[in-house]
Structure formats: structure tokens, C-alpha cells
Amino acid sequence: MLFTAKDITVTLSGDGGLFRAVDNISFELNAGEILDITGPSGSGKSTLLHALGMQVVSCTGTMLFQGVPSTQFAPQQWRRHIALVQQKPTLLAGTVKDNLLLPWSLKAYAQETPPTTNVLLQSLESARLGDITLDRSIDKLSVGQQARVAFLRTLLSAPRVLLLDEADAALDDASAEAIGEMTTAFVNQGNAAVRVRHRTDDGRATARITVIDGRIVDGQGGAHG
């Protein structure tokens, strides 16, 4: 099993006091699988993804990566394997290359060799961005192109599980399709993905769950909670 989430619960403070934004959600992911999470706005889907990415303090339950509990990872180490991609990615002023190589400017990657120019060019081709040069200013790209560059940056850092928080929600159809293609290629390489989505089903998911008020109310493909 590549990834396991068991009894994940997130307790937050609201106007009425403490409440469970995520309530005992469990699922498992094998390599090659894509789990789609649907449900109304405010149902806890994004909070769940942040918890899975070890970015929520008030989280209980058990998470395992390749059988190893999350408690045995420093948060930074965990995020190397379990990567969160948000709807509005962070991009730097500068070129496409500057943004693709951003992780290797950070301390966590200081001992690692960054991708070569050829690898960067191949990645742009895979994202239907072959006509974009590496020295193009990031602010000269469309919203969809910027999203694909940010997505490529995450893929280049070689995570094993992607947590996609409506990564295609604000994109045009062509960009959303490109993100979908890259996600499928990623999982076909022995990885897995969890996607929070509001768009029409694209047929790529191998399992689906619906979350309402923090709980799974319907699921297919082995997810439960």
C-alpha cells in the first residue's frame, strides 16, 4: 500500500465553538490510483487535503506512507513525498526556468542536483507548453500556462503522492485537460493522487468519495469513513 489515511479528524474553532471540520475519514491508495473527493463547498475537502499534507496542527488519526507512520517523518520530509498543489500556486517574479527550479534553491534540496535544461524542456513539452521558452517571463504567461508551470515544478521535485486541491478549477478546458494528462502519467509511473474537484468527471479517477460536513457519505473503490 502506497498511502493510508485512517480515522483522520481535524477539529477547528468556529463561532459556535469547536467543531470537526474533518470527521473520521479513512481511505487507502495503491500505486497507479487516483481518488477524487467531491462535495459541496465548506464540507471539509480542502481541510482534509491540508491535513494529509501535514499542514494542519489540530489533526488526529494515522497516516502511513509505504507503511511508515507520518510520526516518523519531519513535516518537511513528509511533504517531499506527499505534495499539496493548491488552486492558486505561488509563482515568483522571473522566468519560467526560475520558477521550475525554485525547489532547488531551498535548503531541503541543497544536496540534490537540479534538473538539466533538457529535462526542463521535455517537461514543458509534456505539459503542452513546448512553444514556451525557459527564459520567458512568468508574467507573460496566461493563467492556464502559469498553472501548468507550477504543476510541472511539483512533478519535477519527484513526490509519490499528489494532493490536488481544485488544481484545475479556474483553468480553461485545454489547461485542465493538460493537468489531467500529467496526473495520469504521474500515477502510471507508480505513484498516486488525491483530487478535490468541482469540474465535470473526466473519467480519470479510479475511486471517488463524497464528503459532506466532514464525513464520507458515499464512496467507491475501497475508500471509507
The per-residue pLDDT string of the chain (225 residues; one tens digit each, 9 = 90 and over) reads 999 999 999 999 988 899 999 999 999 999 999 999 999 999 999 999 999 999 998 999 999 999 999 999 999 999 999 999 988 888 999 999 999 999 999 887 888 999 999 999 999 999 999 999 999 999 999 999 999 999 999 999 999 999 999 999 889 999 999 999 999 999 999 999 999 988 888 999 999 999 999 999 987 554 544
Residue 172 to residue 168: CA distance in whole angstroms = 8
- Whether 225 is in a domain gets the answer no
- Whether 38 is in a domain gets the answer yes
Residue 224 has what pLDDT?
Answer: 46
Short-list 77, 74, 81, 126, CA closest to 100:
126
Instruction: Write b or e for each residue in 68-106: b if 16 or more Cβ atoms lie within 10 A of its Cβ, otherwise e.
Output: eebeebeeeebbbbbbbbbeebebeeebbbbbbbbbeee
- Whether 193 is in a domain gets the answer yes
Residue 10 to residue 3: CA distance in whole angstroms = 19
- Whether 104 is in a domain gets the answer yes
Residue 220 has what pLDDT?
Answer: 59
- Whether 132 is in a domain gets the answer yes
- Whether 207 is in a domain gets the answer yes
What is the three-class DSSP state of 119?
helix
- Whether 174 is in a domain gets the answer yes
Which domain CATH number covers 13?
3.40.50.300
- Whether 36 is in a domain gets the answer yes
Provide the domain count of the chain.
1
The domain containing residue 182 runs over which residues? 3-220
